[in-house]
Structure 1
Amino acid sequence: MTTASYFSARDGILHAEDIPLPELAERHGTPLYVYSRAALRAAWQAYADAIAGRDALVCYGVKANSNLAVLHEFQRLGAGFDIVSGGELARVLAAGASPKRVVFSGVGKQAWEIRQALAAGIKCFNVESAAELERLADIAQEMGVRAPVSLRVNPDVDAHTHPYISTGLKENKFGVDIHKAPALYRQARQHPALEIVGVDCHIGSQITEISPYLDALDKLLTLIEGLADEGITLRHLDLGGGLGIRYTDETPPHPADLLNPVFAALHQRGLHHLQVILEPGRSLVGNAGILLTRVEYLKRTEVRNFAIVDAAMNDLMRPALYEAWHGVVPVETRAQVAPETYDVVGPICESGDWLARERALAIEQGDLLAIQSAGAYGFSMASQYNSRPRAAEVLVDGQDAWLIRPRESIHDLFAQERVPHRDKVSS
């Protein structure tokens, strides 16, 4: 499943499914996020096929793309949800999700978020520290409920990915040292307001090989067996998310490539009673979206050529943050224009404001470009830096297109701000 499968050229013009991208740009302006509903469904189906007939739950990682239309689509398809904030919980509930299919991850859960999730009746809290476990127990006891608990353990496994998105090493802020987890489980067992339900692990993102998962799985199964010897039984095993997508020449594994050996290991070690939970984000939405942008200027210097576009690092942060690679293709083929090598940059006053470097492009001023594989961590990481309104978002389904988030207006930028009257500040 690649971006090209759902964003293909016809008669020299790039389409989103059956709609020419220039039509969407004319209708909604640029920068513009465009998502393919067929791509979302195809990515989901790969997971659905891999878990068919098995006790498993796929919880979409909301942080990848939290638009209500995207959440609603996955809810309709049967997904659960992996959240990391109270805001994300509110979003998934607004999209129609059952709280019983929601797991709450994250290292810094605030008291109000815990209360909100307990009141909603979520499936599980993925607890990431002893201090969080204590806070969760205190709040649950105060509310007169039992909190379902899964410890997120850190197995010290190298996922061989970018250091900013590696989460399973000892030096990362995430999870509980796997060697200290048994003591925390014992502590949780003693508290009447806590109910032990599972164990969780998440080792990183954009992972393109299966071996790190299997290394982590082996450590988790050993932990589970040791807990069982002490009479602490678990109901589920959560392996997190992180399966990668193709941005350039990667060959990411199919969900079944991961799940088949996982279920085989559970059966071999007599742990087939455990429900398996996955928390994919990027692999469900990454290749389902593009960022459409227009070339404002072509600037040539002695050292570099620049294609200055109307999208910027505030619209797509990944290149500036991770030096991430995204494919860039002209929306319309210009056979009469000779390709030149350009850095594709935005208008923000930062040297780090670039979307792609050293790309051979046959383009002219005013042309449209498609930044590929932008469905994950694109709009969800967008900001209003330089007082730039955030882009619109569109969902395409065949010949139909829905505006699922209007473009912000200039007024929206400061609508919630207040200027104190004279020297007196009032609330």
Structure 2
Amino acid sequence: MDHFLYRDGHLHAENVPVAEIAAAVGTPFYVYSTATLLRHFTLFDEALTDVDHLVCYAMKAASNQAILRTLAQAGAGMDVVSQGEYLRAKAAGVPGERIVFSGVGKTEEEIRTALSGGIRQFNVESEPEMEVINRVALELGKVAPITVRVNPDVDAKTHAKIATGKSENKFGIPIARASAVYAHAASLPGLDVIGIDVHIGSQLTELEPFRLAYEKVAELTEQLRGEGHDIRRLDLGGGLGIPYTRSNEAPPLPVEYGQLIKDTLGHLGCEIEIEPGRLIAGNAGLMVSKVIYVKSGEGRNFLILDGAMNDLIRPAMYEAHHDIVPIVEPAPALEARPYDIVGPVCETGDTFAQQRDMPPVASGDLIAFRSAGAYGAVMASEYNTRPLIPEVLVHGDQFAVIRARPSFDEIINRDTIPEWL
């Protein structure tokens, strides 16, 4: 569910007409719904009501400080994967004790920043990383809380580029080596080994891969406790998918996911952390673009937009589907026609959809990409010296620009020309 609905023939973001935002900020732009963000966070939080837990939003999905503060004020922690994300979370008012630091390649500088500023835990991905965290912690006179990310060798049955839990993936340590790795971690005086971390992938649309992974985590928890480790926290990652098409069968609901966690891990008495990102932010955002030209080609027609692959790269990178709808609700009697929907970048890959049925659309019309709140703005670039597009947050009948579009002068003036030129 989201809060982007047609009213009186015009698409609204909560109580604000999307066309009104377009008139104020220009196109293309991203717009997010506060009500949708909070609803989706609450669904996860309530799904674990009977369990000691923390929902840590995976901020790589959408990291604008306004989004982070909205979720933090509702009680969310944050899952970060870089020093920049850590500093963003702190700037948004998230205390260090609610920030989890994940990622396969943490640098010494990143570790030092997080230990100095406060951290809930590091999710450690390798023995060399463990050694560095230990050394930095001792230098700072601190003890670093850690979990160790285990790779359960479970097929998440998702896109190959976002699967993370199989043996050939770069993430975590093989679960078969967990006993030895935990024994080594326990020997390091700068570390407090508090739990286990697992994350098998993103955009999962069935629960069975989670069940297989969590059953292995349950077995490992009991094994490690038997070996003397105080396993008291289980970080289960994120990955629950969203419906990118209105016609497809919906992925499992957070309440079903929560029940699975209770069924497989509830008997262990551990605090549970989950790190949803896409499901909180994905359907909470649209990308809005304008049709520049309607072009007739050999056997097909094209809608050429002012939005491009640098603004929303998921279709080019993952062959991802986004429902695309006009801002003005089409009359039921209008017959749809197939279009290739493309951007202005001089690459064939700058294609959002091929032969997508759309109602009649004209130059100057506004269209919206649904389910664009996750991995949209955060993956955007200034390719072709195209400015990053604005982000807008809606709250009821109000909206605010939460990241402005930079001017061309601002972009160009970042360059420095050497003296010899």
TM-score range, shorter chain: over 0.9
Is contact 1:7–1:16 with CA below 8 Å preserved after alignment? yes
Asked if residue 164 in structure 1 is aligned to residue 161 in structure 2, the reply is yes
Is contact 1:339–1:363 with CA below 8 Å preserved after alignment? no
Deviation at 1:256, TM superposition (A): 1.7
Q: Which moved more, 1:404-413 or 1:183-192?
A: 404-413
Task: Deviation per CA, 1:173-196: give whole Å up to 9, x if none.
Answer: 111111112111100111111110
Cα distance in structure 2, aligned partners of 1:237 and 1:54: 12
Asked if residue 246 in structure 1 is aligned to residue 240 in structure 2, the reply is no
Cα distance in structure 2, aligned partners of 1:219 and 1:110: 30
Task: Deviation per CA, 1:266-303: give whole Å up to 9, x if none.
Answer: 344xx12x100000000001000000000000111113
Which residue is 1:57 aligned to?
54
Deviation at 1:253, TM superposition (A): 1.3
Gaps of 5+ in 1: none
1:397 to 395, 398, 403: 395
Cα distance in structure 2, aligned partners of 1:66 and 1:220: 30
Q: Secondary structure at the match of 2:60?
A: helix
Cα distance in structure 2, aligned partners of 1:17 and 1:89: 30
Is contact 1:334–1:363 with CA below 8 Å preserved after alignment? no
What letter corresponds to residue 265 of structure 1 in structure 2?
A: T
Q: Which moved more, 1:72-81 or 1:242-251?
A: 242-251
Q: Which moved more, 1:5-14 or 1:401-410?
A: 5-14
Q: Secondary structure at the match of 1:63?
A: coil
Q: Which moved more, 1:23-32 or 1:43-52?
A: 43-52
Cα distance in structure 1, aligned partners of 2:109 and 2:266: 40
Q: Secondary structure at the match of 1:351?
A: coil
Which residue is 2:368 aligned to?
370
Deviation at 1:50, TM superposition (A): 0.9
Cα distance in structure 2, aligned partners of 1:126 and 1:275: 15
Q: Kindly, what percent of the aligned residue pairs are identical? A: 48
Asked if residue 265 in structure 1 is aligned to residue 261 in structure 2, the reply is no
Deviation at 1:6, TM superposition (A): 1.0
Runs of 4+ in 1 over 2 A off after TM superposition: 264-268, 333-339
Deviation at 1:250, TM superposition (A): 3.7
Which residue is 1:305 aligned to?
301
Is contact 1:155–1:177 with CA below 8 Å preserved after alignment? yes
Asked if residue 323 in structure 1 is aligned to residue 312 in structure 2, the reply is no
Asked if residue 380 in structure 1 is aligned to residue 382 in structure 2, the reply is no
Task: Deviation per CA, 1:33-86: give whole Å up to 9, x if none.
Answer: 011111111111101211224200100001000000000001000000100000
Cα distance in structure 1, aligned partners of 2:24 and 2:334: 27
Is contact 1:312–1:353 with CA below 8 Å preserved after alignment? yes
Deviation at 1:22, TM superposition (A): 1.0
1:17 to 14, 19, 29: 14
Deviation at 1:263, TM superposition (A): 1.7
What letter corresponds to residue 263 of structure 2 in structure 1?
A: A
Cα distance in structure 2, aligned partners of 1:246 and 1:221: 30
Cα distance in structure 2, aligned partners of 1:149 and 1:246: 34
Q: Secondary structure at the match of 1:132?
A: helix
CA distance 1:377–1:188, shift in 2 (3 Å): same
Cα distance in structure 1, aligned partners of 2:283 and 2:151: 29
Cα distance in structure 1, aligned partners of 2:306 and 2:216: 48
What letter corresponds to residue 401 of structure 1 in structure 2?
A: F
1:282 to 278, 285, 291: 278
Is contact 2:235–2:272 with CA below 8 Å preserved after alignment? yes
Task: Write the mapping of 1:22-421 to structure 2, written as runs, cut at 5 A.
Answer: 22-248=19-245, 249-268=248-267, 271-272=268-269, 274-335=270-331, 338-361=335-358, 362-421=360-419
Cα distance in structure 1, aligned partners of 2:326 and 2:260: 41
Is contact 1:337–1:363 with CA below 8 Å preserved after alignment? no
Cα distance in structure 1, aligned partners of 2:257 and 2:329: 39
Task: Deviation per CA, 1:365-417: give whole Å up to 9, x if none.
Answer: 11000000000000000000010001001111121111111112112222322
What letter corresponds to residue 356 of structure 1 in structure 2?
A: A
What letter corresponds to residue 385 of structure 1 in structure 2?
A: Y
Cα distance in structure 2, aligned partners of 1:207 and 1:317: 20
Q: Secondary structure at the match of 1:285?
A: helix
What letter corresponds to residue 400 of structure 1 in structure 2?
A: Q
Task: Deviation per CA, 1:110-141: give whole Å up to 9, x if none.
Answer: 11000001111201000111111111111112
Q: Secondary structure at the match of 2:84?
A: helix
Is contact 2:211–2:264 with CA below 8 Å preserved after alignment? no
Cα distance in structure 2, aligned partners of 1:10 and 1:232: 57
Q: Secondary structure at the match of 1:125?
A: strand
Number of aligned residue pairs: 417
Deviation at 1:338, TM superposition (A): 4.5
Gaps of 5+ in 2: none
Cα distance in structure 2, aligned partners of 1:232 and 1:48: 28
What letter corresponds to residue 179 of structure 1 in structure 2?
A: A
Cα distance in structure 1, aligned partners of 2:309 and 2:213: 35
Q: Which moved more, 1:306-315 or 1:15-24?
A: 15-24
Is contact 2:149–2:197 with CA below 8 Å preserved after alignment? yes
Deviation at 1:221, TM superposition (A): 1.1
Cα distance in structure 1, aligned partners of 2:411 and 2:261: 48
Cα distance in structure 1, aligned partners of 2:151 and 2:292: 47
Q: Secondary structure at the match of 1:179?
A: helix
Cα distance in structure 1, aligned partners of 2:141 and 2:209: 40
Cα distance in structure 2, aligned partners of 1:261 and 1:313: 37
Is contact 2:215–2:265 with CA below 8 Å preserved after alignment? no
